[in-house]
Structure 1
Amino acid sequence: MKNHNLPTDELKNFGIINDDLTFSKKLSPDDIEKFLQGYTIVADNDKNRATFQLSEDNTKLKVIFLERDKSLNKIIENSKGRVQYTDVKELSGDYPLIEKKAFIFDSETGKVVEFDFIKNATELTAIIAEKKEPEELNRYKNELFKLKGFLQDKADKYPEIAKEISIDINVVSREIDSVNSISADQKQISKAGNSDIQLNVNDQDIYEDANRNRQDQEEEQTDEREKNRGFRR
């Protein structure tokens, strides 16, 4: 990996490195190492989000500016009561981009964890299902349908990228099917009145496992999706 040709002016401009070319103290050694390996740095400020990624042998800095539909502080605060859903829209780029996120409060650690509807689809569905709350499951299902509708509209409007969009549509459709199946199981359990029956969801250390595995899962899926898209937004 080439580090001697870093785009220092841009990195300084965004506060990633200092004037003496040292990295910001806000970044851990692990953050810096991964950034130099091509992984993304994410910076949040209220409704605004920016992502930074090095490319072309670390000679170029790819910057994407996004905006949430809600204040991050309010999302985190309200997540202590119930799951919060939010859309993140890209403010630039050739094609409209919406990322749908879920914020879930972990009472054991006292922390709020962010899940992406696409990158963390399977574990997010499992966590929502484990709550065994029909109202929450319906809220989640409605958000899935909203995301699917957006993706389908985007595919219709931009046929040149419809094939890669179909990958995300398939992920969302799969989770909708899973939710329908879970809802049916819950109804059967309710009718049977058997409180000993449990859904087939591994709830032990689910947040710990999610937080430990979600980075690897995101990196693998991001690499695959970026290859398909040719690093195009």
Structure 2
Amino acid sequence: MENHNLPTEDLKTYGIIKEDLTFSEKLSTEDVRKFLRGYTIVADNDRNRATFQLTDNNTQLKVIFLERDKSLSEILKQSKEKVQYTDIKDLSKSPADWNIEKKAFIFDKENNKTVEFDCIKNATELTAIIADQKDLQELGRYKSELQKLKNYLSDKIDQYPEIAKAIANDINIVSRKLDSVTRISIEDKRMQNSINSDVQINVNDRDRYEDANRVQENEEQQQEEKRRFRR
């Protein structure tokens, strides 16, 4: 890749490089290295997100402005309590365009940070993480978000016949995860019902209750006999 033909004026406009043509201190050496190799720089500010990528052999700067339906600070704060979902809209496209991405934010307690997942690109990993929480309410929330995403994609597939195959592939991914979540929910409910049933038996089974009482009475009698023997 060529680096001497960088779109310096555009890079200055967005604060990626300074007037002396050095890169911003906000970017690490690794960030700069990846950026020059075609990786995307992401800048977040409240509900807004901007992405920057060099194209055409590093001679053009591709800029995309996105908007969340929630502020980033709100997402990060609430993610410590439960998984947060947000829709990200591409502001460079019209409302009629296919311009929505759904993200999930999960707090990683081990590393003390919130991690972002794409509900399609990271669907397998995201489903596994949520299922591992063993929380039926959280599974229900996830299932609802997947269903809304599927409905959105289904509405779009007829509008964009030229990319219908790609949209259909995304719908298939979401559908498979919906099926997985349904199976997991059923299995978790059965397990919970089994646990509750065992608890009920332990508390209400008259024979078991009386057996337990007899064991306790026998133990008390043995203790009394030991005390008498020691006298």
TM category, shorter: 0.7 to 0.9
Alignment of 1:2-17 (within 5 A): 2-17=2-17
| Paired position in structure 1 for 2:101 | 99
- Deviation, 1:56, is 1.0
1:43 maps to 43
Aligned to 2:24: 24
The equivalent of 2:90 in structure 1 is 90
State which of 138, 145, 148 in structure 1 corresponds to 2:147: 145
Deviation, structure 1 residue 154: 1.1
Provide the aligned C-alpha RMSD in A.
1.4
Q: How many residues align?
A: 194
Deviates more, 1:137-146 or 1:23-32: 23-32
- Residue equivalent to 1:64: 64
Shift in Å, 1:22: 1.0
- Identical columns (%): 65
**TM-score (norm. length: structure 1):** 0.79
The whole-number CA distance in structure 1 between the counterparts of 2:2 and 2:184 is 49
Contact 1:47 1:69 in 2 (8 A): yes
Q: What is residue 175 of structure 2 aligned with on the other side?
A: 173
Structure 2 unaligned residues grouped into runs of 5+? 197-231
Tell me the CA shift for residue 175 of structure 1: 1.1
Structure 1: runs of 5 or more not aligned? 195-233
Q: Cα offset for 1:153?
A: 0.9
Query: Is 1:125 equivalent to 2:91 in the alignment?
Result: no
Secondary structure of residue in 2 paired with 1:189: helix
Shift of 1:186: 1.1
Task: Give me the whole-angstrom Cα distance separating, in 2, the residues matched to 1:143 and 1:190.
Answer: 24
Structure 1 residue 191: Cα displacement: 3.2
Matches within 5 A, 1:148-167: 148-167=150-169
Deviation at residue 80 of structure 1 after TM alignment: 1.2
Q: Could you tell me how far apart the structure 2 residues matched to 1:146 and 1:19 are?
A: 46
**What is the deviation of 1:188?**
2.6
Please state which structure has a larger fraction of its residues in helix.
Answer: 2
User: Deviation at 1:76?
Assistant: 0.7
| Distance apart, 1:164 and its partner CA | 1.6
TM-score by length of 2: 0.80
Between 119-128 and 157-166, the greater mean CA deviation after superposition: 157-166
Higher RCO, 1 vs 2 (CA within 8 Å, ≥6 residues apart): 1
